[in-house]
Amino acid sequence: MKNSRITILFIVACVAFMFSFLLNVSLGSVSIYPDEILEGLITGSWVKTSHAQIILNYRLPKAVVALLAGVGLSLSGLQMQTFFRNPLAGPFVLGISSGAGLGVALLMLAGSAFGISALSGGLSAWAIVGAGTLGAGLVMILVSLVAWRIQDSMTLLIVGLMFGSAVSAIVSVLSYFSGADALKLFTVWSMGSLGGLAWPQVVVLGTVVLVGIFPVILSVKSFNAMLLGERYAKSMGVNPTFLRWMMILSTGLLAGSITAFCGPIAFIGIAVPHLARIMWRTSDHRILFPASALLGAILLLLCDVAGQLPGSAQMLPINAVTSLVGAPIVIGLVLRRNFSKEF
Amino acid sequence: MKKSTIVAKNLTLGYATSNPKKAVLENLSFQLFENELTCLLGPNGVGKSTLIKAILGQLKPWSGELTLNEKNIQNFSNPELSKALSVVLSEPVLPGNMTVGQLVALGRIPHTGWTGRLAIHDRDLIENALYLTKTEVLKDERLSEISDGQRQKAMIARALAQDGKVMVLDEPTAHLDLVNRYQIMHLLRDIATKQQKSILVVTHDLEIALETADRLLLLSNTFPLVSGLPEDLVISGQLDRLLPGDEFRFNIEKGKIEQKNPTSQVVIVGNQVIGFWVRKALEKARINKLELPIFVMDGDFTLSYGAQEFHRIGALIDYLKITQKS
């Protein structure tokens, strides 16, 4: 009976995922019906060439990015929460988003702060991605060096948070001294965006995310053991140090690449694992990982739809939408069920 | 000849970070045997947890030898050790969403493949562990919705499902009520004898340990480790070593610890059982001498002292206190 409940939930989630993907692609400043999209994708003949243009070069890559980001952030959030045994942990507790932020801030703001206009030619997407990757990678390497020396996972958590704060402080200093245009540009980046990426970038992001999922699959069993805490896990033959490296590698790749490509996307990473736990009513990671991945993708696709403000040409930043839409959902679920006991 | 599982020879344990380097435990030698429940007793801070850490292979001995099945514990790899030894730690665990069945299934982690898929053999062992700990009915209950005693039994079931020869339990009965404390210790005793396990329990419950343990290990700050049959230790008076200072002693007749009081010289005549409790109450009230005897009358419970009659011990004591003061 219990297993069938889990299966039904997965089927429902898969259907919901397909629905939200189609919805995401079809809604926007111009609404295009799903049947037209499906027909166009399958047969290759479109009713209007402009529609083909919109769907193939703009909306599809954006939907795929939303899918990848939703999956990646949820998976890294779940890993962090279980590893640190902390319901407030998320993909960014080890300072990854701050690191990416620093990289991008250096690119966008440093020129302006030092009185040189680096922005005159405009910034290519690749430059932003590169800067974000470098920044996230740098912080991950620093955290790893510390992780090499310490045994205690709580210490690692604190060190990660401290790195994050220190790096954010550098970004603040840069912002303080930079010009209005550059500052606006950076602020918009820090609100996150799923669009603006072309297919080559989407392919790179997709590859990195796939690679980042591998360590998760390898360590599913160990994460289940970690539910009882590090000492119990050890007594069951799990090597917490190895698991920690797997986790740093995985979240570094997932959260790092997503933040570099899309900016820091708040909320999904922390909230989705909780939603998965509440809905599937289990703590088994063999169920929680796929469930979180599905839910994350659905939620981010739907948030993107809401952010499009269908029918209008205006758009809201994705970060604002994820929090505005997501926070009430989570508060509702948390109040309805006993949240701390579910963890 | 009994087969020994864990053997310690001249073991000295300590932490590398302590400054100046001071050993927590020195020159320990003891053995755990198959089919036996051994209880480790000792005051707080004597190094019981340090010893447990060493047994779990998490602390390298400074000197001496600690072996499990004749192999040095330090030479076990983590996965190897997890197949030979399982634990119930004193720290609380609370993944509330987990059911008792899932918790017990976690015990099979050292034996399953990377996905953690359970084979028929694994399922049998899980069922057996649930059966032995009498937790089958709780199988689908969530850990957040069962009592502390039930949760502790589930933790024991998990350790049992791990199917090592040796089980180490760090204060499994702390925070539990009297009935649960007895139940759990008797359960462990049954498991040790029927499942051919070697079980080490750290506990502070001397009375229950005396009743259930096959062997006691006594650690104290001032004496070397003592080990032996509980009854031998009682008769040789070594249990008093657990009680530093002069304040308490182990009463060999009653089988329990009591405060060292000047022996009561009150004369109580009548029903011996009621007399026992009256004397106990008087001792607590520090009344050790009375001019007249107390008569206990059966049937309608009455105590008479001199010309006075009382129907409750409390009333008698109140009266005695007033008269003795004046």
pLDDT value, residue B19: 65
B315 and B242 belong to one structural domain? no
pLDDT value, residue A343: 61
pLDDT value, residue A338: 59
Mean pLDDT throughout A5-24? 92
Does B113 reside within a domain? yes
When CB atoms are compared, the residue of B87, B96, B110 closest to A341 is: B96
Name every residue whose Cβ is closer than 8 Å to that of residue A209 and which is 6 or more positions away in sequence: A68, A71, A72, A253, A254, A257, A258
B237 and B290 belong to one structural domain? no
Q: Which of B163, B202, B168, B198 is nearest to B4 (CA)?
A: B198
CA count, 13 A, side-chain hemisphere, B152: 23
When CB atoms are compared, the residue of B78, B96, B107 closest to A234 is: B78
Contact B202, B40 (CB under 8 A): yes
Residues 200-229 of A with CB under 8 A from B: 218, 220-221, 224-225, 227-229
Instruction: Give the strand pairing for B268-269 and B294-297.
Output: parallel
Instruction: Give the strand pairing for B294-297 and B302-305.
Output: antiparallel
pLDDT value, residue A8: 92
Q: How far is A111 from chain B (nearest CA, A)?
A: 49
Nearest-by-CA chain B residue for A237: B79
Does B234 reside within a domain? yes
Buried b (16+ CB within 10 A) or exposed e, A125-157: eeebbebbbbbbbbbbebbbeebeeeeebeebb
When CB atoms are compared, the residue of B96, B140, B162 closest to A342 is: B96
pLDDT value, residue B168: 93
How big is the A-B interface in CB pairs under 8 Å? 87
Does B126 reside within a domain? yes
Looking at the complex, does the CB of residue A339 fall below 8 Å from at least one CB of chain B?
A: no
Q: Which of B215, B233, B256 is the last residue of a domain?
A: B256
Does B263 reside within a domain? no
Nearest-by-CA chain A residue for B145: A341
Residue A226: its chain B contacts at CB < 8 A? none
pLDDT value, residue A83: 85
What tokens appear for B309 in the block? 């009659």
Residue B166: its chain A contacts at CB < 8 A? none
Nearest-by-CA chain A residue for B103: A228
A343 or A43, greater pLDDT: A43
Q: What is the DSSP string of A279-295?
A: HHT---HHHHHHHHHHH
B176 and B279 belong to one structural domain? no
Instruction: Give the best residue of B49, B77, B78, B89 to mutate against chain A (max A CB count within 10 A).
Output: B78
Within a 10 A sphere around the Cβ of A120, how many other Cβ atoms? 7
| Interval B258-305: pLDDT, tens | 777 667 778 888 888 888 888 888 888 888 888 888 888 877 788 888
Looking at the complex, does the CB of residue A96 fall below 8 Å from at least one CB of chain B?
A: no
Check B87 against A232: CB less than 8 A apart.
yes
Decide: helix, strand or coil at residue B258: strand
**Total domain count, chain B:** 2
Amino acid symbol at A273:
P
pLDDT value, residue B86: 92
Most confidently modeled range among A58-72, B25-39, B111-125? A58-72
Please state, in angstroms and rounded to a whole number, the distance separating the CA atoms of residues B242 and A202.
Answer: 70
Within a 10 A sphere around the Cβ of A271, how many other Cβ atoms? 25
Inform me whether the pLDDT recorded for A337 exceeds 80: no
Q: Hunting for tokens 């926070």 — which residue is that?
A: A327
Contact A37, A55 (CB under 8 A): yes
Please state, in angstroms and rounded to a whole number, the distance separating the CA atoms of residues A93 and B66.
Answer: 41
Please state, in angstroms and rounded to a whole number, the distance separating the CA atoms of residues A304 and A58.
Answer: 13
Nearest-by-CA chain A residue for B163: A236
Inform me whether the pLDDT recorded for A340 exceeds 60: no
| Interval A112-160: pLDDT, tens | 655 555 444 456 777 888 888 888 888 888 888 887 787 777 888 888 8
B246 and B274 belong to one structural domain? no
N-term to C-term CA, chain A: 23
Amino acid symbol at B262:
P
Mean pLDDT throughout A165-194? 87
pLDDT value, residue A229: 85
Nearest-by-CA chain A residue for B89: A232
Mean pLDDT throughout A182-206? 87
Mean pLDDT throughout A49-60? 84
Instruction: Give the strand pairing for B166-170 and B23-33.
Output: unpaired
B210 and B317 belong to one structural domain? no
pLDDT value, residue B37: 93
A15 or B4, greater pLDDT: A15
ipTM value of the model?
Answer: 0.79
- Confidence tier at B245 by pLDDT (50, 70, 90): low
Average pLDDT across chain A, whole number: 84
pLDDT value, residue A211: 93
B82 and B167 belong to one structural domain? yes
Within a 10 A sphere around the Cβ of B5, how many other Cβ atoms? 25
Q: How far is B79 from chain A (nearest CA, A)?
A: 4
B21 or B276, greater pLDDT: B276
In this prediction, what percent of chain B has a pLDDT beyond 90? 14
When CB atoms are compared, the residue of A228, A338, A342 closest to B106 is: A228
DSSP state, A107?
A: I
- Confidence tier at A297 by pLDDT (50, 70, 90): very high
pLDDT value, residue B94: 67
pLDDT value, residue A186: 86
Does B106 reside within a domain? yes
Full domain range(s) for residue B9: 4-256
Q: How far is B93 from chain A (nearest CA, A)?
A: 6
Does B262 reside within a domain? no
Looking at the complex, does the CB of residue B118 fall below 8 Å from at least one CB of chain A?
A: no
> Beta partners for A242?
none
Burial of A325 (0-12, 13-18, 19+ CB in 10 A): middle
- Which domains, and CATH codes, for chain A? 2-342 (1.10.3470.10)
Any idea what the CATH number is for the domain that residue B80 is in? 3.40.50.300
Please state, in angstroms and rounded to a whole number, the distance separating the CA atoms of residues A37 and A22.
Answer: 9
pLDDT value, residue A111: 67
Does B94 reside within a domain? yes
Residues 245-304 of A with CB under 8 A from B: 277, 281-284, 286
Name every residue whose Cβ is closer than 8 Å to that of residue B92 and which is 6 or more positions away in sequence: none
Please report which helix (H) or strand (E) contains residue B88, including its range: strand B85-88
Strands (E), chain A: none
N-term to C-term CA, chain B: 67
Q: How far is B110 from chain A (nearest CA, A)?
A: 6
Q: How far is B13 from chain A (nearest CA, A)?
A: 19
Within a 10 A sphere around the Cβ of B188, how many other Cβ atoms? 26
- Confidence tier at A43 by pLDDT (50, 70, 90): confident
When CB atoms are compared, the residue of A218, A340, A342 closest to B114 is: A218
B276 and B236 belong to one structural domain? no
Contact A264, A72 (CB under 8 A): no
Residue B102: its chain A contacts at CB < 8 A? 282-284
B172 and B316 belong to one structural domain? no
- Confidence tier at B201 by pLDDT (50, 70, 90): very high
Nearest-by-CA chain A residue for B107: A236
Inform me whether the pLDDT recorded for A1 exceeds 50: no
Q: A90: left (phi > 0), else alpha (psi -120 to 50), else beta?
A: beta
Check A218 against B97: CB less than 8 A apart.
no
Peptide bond preceding B20 in cis form (omega within 30 of 0): yes
Residues 216-255 of B with CB under 8 A from A: none
Q: Which of B212, B233, B256 is the last residue of a domain?
A: B256
Average pLDDT across chain B, whole number: 85
Nearest-by-CA chain B residue for A279: B97
B195 and B273 belong to one structural domain? no
Contact B42, B219 (CB under 8 A): yes
Please state, in angstroms and rounded to a whole number, the distance separating the CA atoms of residues B38 and B53.
Answer: 17
pTM of the model: 0.82
Contact A264, A92 (CB under 8 A): yes
Instruction: Give the strand pairing for B226-228 and B71-72.
Output: unpaired
Q: Which of A254, A260, A259 is nearest to A211 (CA)?
A: A254
> Beta partners for A337?
none
Mean pLDDT throughout A76-83? 90
Residue A235: its chain B contacts at CB < 8 A? 56, 82, 85-87, 89
Please state, in angstroms and rounded to a whole number, the distance separating the CA atoms of residues A257 and A208.
Answer: 7
Amino acid symbol at A91:
P
Q: Which of B226, B256, B286 is the last residue of a domain?
A: B256
- Confidence tier at A63 by pLDDT (50, 70, 90): very high
Peptide bond preceding A91 in cis form (omega within 30 of 0): no
Looking at the complex, does the CB of residue A234 fall below 8 Å from at least one CB of chain B?
A: yes
In this prediction, what percent of chain A has a pLDDT beyond 90? 22
Looking at the complex, does the CB of residue A168 fall below 8 Å from at least one CB of chain B?
A: no
B54 and B188 belong to one structural domain? yes
pLDDT value, residue B20: 66
**Of the ranges A294-298, B14-18, B22-26, which one carries the lowest mean pLDDT score?**
B14-18
Does B261 reside within a domain? no
What tokens appear for A318 in the block? 């994705």
Q: Which of A328, A292, A322 is nearest to A305 (CA)?
A: A322
Buried b (16+ CB within 10 A) or exposed e, B152-163: bbbbbbbbbbbb
Please state, in angstroms and rounded to a whole number, the distance separating the CA atoms of residues B135 and B130.
Answer: 5
What are the residue ranges of helices labelled H in B56-119?
78-84, 100-106
pLDDT value, residue B244: 67
Check A286 against B112: CB less than 8 A apart.
no
CA atoms B57, B63, B68, B70: torsion sign: positive
B240 and B92 belong to one structural domain? yes
Please state, in angstroms and rounded to a whole number, the distance separating the CA atoms of residues B134 and B186.
Answer: 12
Please state, in angstroms and rounded to a whole number, the distance separating the CA atoms of residues B91 and B116.
Answer: 25
B289 and B177 belong to one structural domain? no
Mean pLDDT throughout B84-111? 85
Amino acid symbol at B14:
G
Looking at the complex, does the CB of residue B44 fall below 8 Å from at least one CB of chain A?
A: no
